[in-house]
């Protein structure tokens, strides 16, 4: 379990640990800001593309080998930034890193779904979500500290993938090829991915939900710093604290997710999350004090902290065991596509209606989604 939980934080670390040295990398490599940002975002596109491939592989050969391979690739490709001085070679390493993260993310989810059941599964998935949130705060701080020595130094953090790969080799149970097919064997077991979605149309709602959640996450990450500046807070450290508040709130609620799930259905949890987001974004759009802004960000973080364990467990329980790799891999795909599209969708709102309008529009959209989800989930 500890290997699984530790490896879960590496998916968050993939971009966040080098974000503090972005400007230093730009200067060191002699590229313009747009090209420099690709160093941080390239792996995300590869995760979205490669996750279904990794899910298919996991369903075919078992979860252990792709998991160990992903951690090894993560350590080697990510850690190579310690010595790479050429921009395009660094981009290639980020492409390979994305492939490794895709394997880790999907395998990590499937391991939890396979090894734990019932309330214990909910607890462990909550712990994983909490670890991710804490990693979202800790890794950038480590990257910033290492960056004081050299822009290359934060890449050393990726080397943690190598000892984790060794520990996974020693501790993660082996899965025989096709063994998952022996679990929950039923006529639907031999269905296709499309057939499973047709048989469980609620999967469309679940994938849409995680897609929306990541659009909203990046609405906070991209636009809250600009809003904070309007309150006279320009120090980057304090601005970073505002972003971290959301992650810390999410970490706290995820720790008790097992207790929450014991009392509420998945549908009830989704509606509570959307209600929290309606309140959060509407309040942010009208915030007249820093403390009201903090309160709103905490509300969003609580909702996100409940989302992260809910989605993978819900998907895992809806699909046959032999399709868990493929069906859970789409969680990563929809998540990273949502992150990529967030600025494309919301930036025009800011340019035409203003910064506060971004949060008001998102609040209205969450209200409509709440009503839509009530209708869809009832059906």
What does each of the 379 residues of the chain score in pLDDT, given as a tens digit?
888 888 888 887 777 788 777 778 888 888 887 787 778 778 888 888 899 999 999 888 888 999 999 999 999 999 999 998 888 999 999 999 999 999 998 999 899 888 888 888 888 888 988 888 888 778 877 887 888 888 899 899 999 999 999 999 998 887 544 444 434 444 444 478 888 888 888 899 999 999 999 899 888 877 887 788 788 876 666 766 777 788 888 889 998 988 998 899 988 999 999 999 999 999 998 888 888 888 999 999 999 999 999 999 999 888 888 888 889 889 989 988 888 888 888 888 888 888 888 899 999 999 999 998 888 777 6
Helices (H), the chain: 2-16, 22-29, 33-61, 64-79, 87-115, 118-146, 161-171, 193-199, 202-229, 236-255, 257-263, 266-286, 290-318, 324-353, 355-378
Give the number of other Cβ atoms within 10 Å of residue 104's Cβ.
31
**CB 251 within 8 Å of CB 133:** yes
Domains of the chain: 2-181 (1.20.1250.20), 195-378 (1.20.1250.20)
Q: Residue 366: what pLDDT?
A: 93
Measured CA to CA in angstroms, residue 213 lies from 174, 264, 273, 334 at distances of 34, 20, 10, 10
Q: Residue 236: what pLDDT?
A: 60
pTM: 0.82
Q: Residue 175: what pLDDT?
A: 57
Q: Is 30 helix (H, G, I), strand (E, B) or coil?
A: coil
Residues in the chain: 379
The tokens 């690739």 sit on which residue?
Answer: 73
Structural tokens at position 283? 């309040």
């Amino acid at each position: 379990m500890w290997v699984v939980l530790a490896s879960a934080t590496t998916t968050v670390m993939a971009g966040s640990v080098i974000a503090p040295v972005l400007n230093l990398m730009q200067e060191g490599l002699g590229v313009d800001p747009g090209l420099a940002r690709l160093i941080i975002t390239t792996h995300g596109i590869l995760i979205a593309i490669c996750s279904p491939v990794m899910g298919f592989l996991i369903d075919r050969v078992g979860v252990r080998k792709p998991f160990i391979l992903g951690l090894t690739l993560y350590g080697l490709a990510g850690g190579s930034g310690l010595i790479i001085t050429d921009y395009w070679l660094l981009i290639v390493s980020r492409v390979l890193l994305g492939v490794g993260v895709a394997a880790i993310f999907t395998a990590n989810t499937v391991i939890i779904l396979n090894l734990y059941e019932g309330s214990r599964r909910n607890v462990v998935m909550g712990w994983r979500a909490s670890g991710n949130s804490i990693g979202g705060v800790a890794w950038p701080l480590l990257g910033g500290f290492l960056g004081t020595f050299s822009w290359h130094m934060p890449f050393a953090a990726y080397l943690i993938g190598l000892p984790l790969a060794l520990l996974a080799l020693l501790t993660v149970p082996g899965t025989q090829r096709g063994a998952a097919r022996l679990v929950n064997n039923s006529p639907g077991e031999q269905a296709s991915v499309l057939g499973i979605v047709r048989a469980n149309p609620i999967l469309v709602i679940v994938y849409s939900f995680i897609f929306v959640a990541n659009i909203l996450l990046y609405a906070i990450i991209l636009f809250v710093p600009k809003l904070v500046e309007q309150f006279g807070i320009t120090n980057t450290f304090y601005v970073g604290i505002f972003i971290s508040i959301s992650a810390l709130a999410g970490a706290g609620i995820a720790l008790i997710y097992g207790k929450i799930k014991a009392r509420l259905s998945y549908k009830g949890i989704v509606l509570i999350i959307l209600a929290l987001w309606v309140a959060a974004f509407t309040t942010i759009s009208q915030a007249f004090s820093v403390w009201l802004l903090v309160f709103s960000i905490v509300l969003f973080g609580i909702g996100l902290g409940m989302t992260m364990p809910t989605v993978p467990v819900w998907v895992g329980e809806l699909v046959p065991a032999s399709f868990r790799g493929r069906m859970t891999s789409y969680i990563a795909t929809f998540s990273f596509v949502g992150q990529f599209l967030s600025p494309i969708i919301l930036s025009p709102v800011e340019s035409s209606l203003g910064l506060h309008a971004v949060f008001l529009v998102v609040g209205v959209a969450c209200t409509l989604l709440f009503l839509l989800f009530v209708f869809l989930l009832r059906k």
